[in-house]
Amino acid sequence: MLNLVLFGPPGAGKGTQSEKIIASYGLTHLSTGDLFRKHLGEGTALGALAKGFMDQGRLVPDEVVIQMVEDKIATTKDSKGFIFDGFPRTTAQAEALDAMLSKNGMKISGMIALEVPQAILKERILERGKTSGRVDDQEEAKINTRIQVYLDETLPVAAYYERQGKFHQIVGVGKIEEIFDQIAAVIDGY
């Protein structure tokens, strides 16, 4: 089973590359953004909790995210593998993910990190905000908060997987196909 963490700051292209990876490798997409939208759309208690944090441009607390991820894994056990997009966002979440997967006889195969300069991230997010409808894509102050939270709280997750020998960095600037070709080369090495 192939289980990948697709990693990078907001606006790095994780969603775009996830789609290509899923199409090529038949993995189940596990996006915390999708999980949040599902729970928000269904009006669940977890969705209401997540919304309050998302509207402020802050990270949703680990316990809420982990409950959503556990539910998704439990309902798709026949998958060829998962691509984790936007999760884990903290070292505590990475440890919890490893524990969840281990309970199910699974593990993370590797982390692919997309590296993009901050100025380009801001441009991409503001452009996406014109059509996404997301409040946190439309205001520069919230975008700055999201990027700073990534640097302070999420970036250490890369070191967690690097210590396990599972970290692979890809430059996330350029043509989408060229970036994907680099990702595929890493995946094909697993």
Q: With contact defined as beta carbons under 8 Å apart, do 62 and 90 qualify?
A: yes
State yes or no: is 146 an active-site residue. Answer: yes
Catalytic residue (one of 37, 124, 128, 142): 128
Q: % helix / strand / coil in the chain, to the nearest 5?
A: 60, 15, 25
Q: Starting at the earlier edge strand, list the strands of the sheet with 2-7.
A: 28-31, 81-85, 2-7, 110-115, 167-171
Determine whether 89 is an active site residue.
yes
Q: Which of 72, 89, 124, 142 is catalytic?
A: 89
Selected catalytic residue, list 38, 58, 122, 134: 134
**Residue 143, φ and ψ in degrees, nearest 5:** -65, -45
Residue 158: which H helix or E strand, with range? Answer: helix 156-163
Decide if 20 is catalytic.
no
58 is catalytic: no
30 strand-pairing partners: 84
72, 124, 142, 146: the catalytic one is 146
Active-site residue flag, 163: no
Q: Which one-letter DSSP state was computed for residue 77?
A: T
Active-site annotation, residues:
14, 89, 128, 134, 146
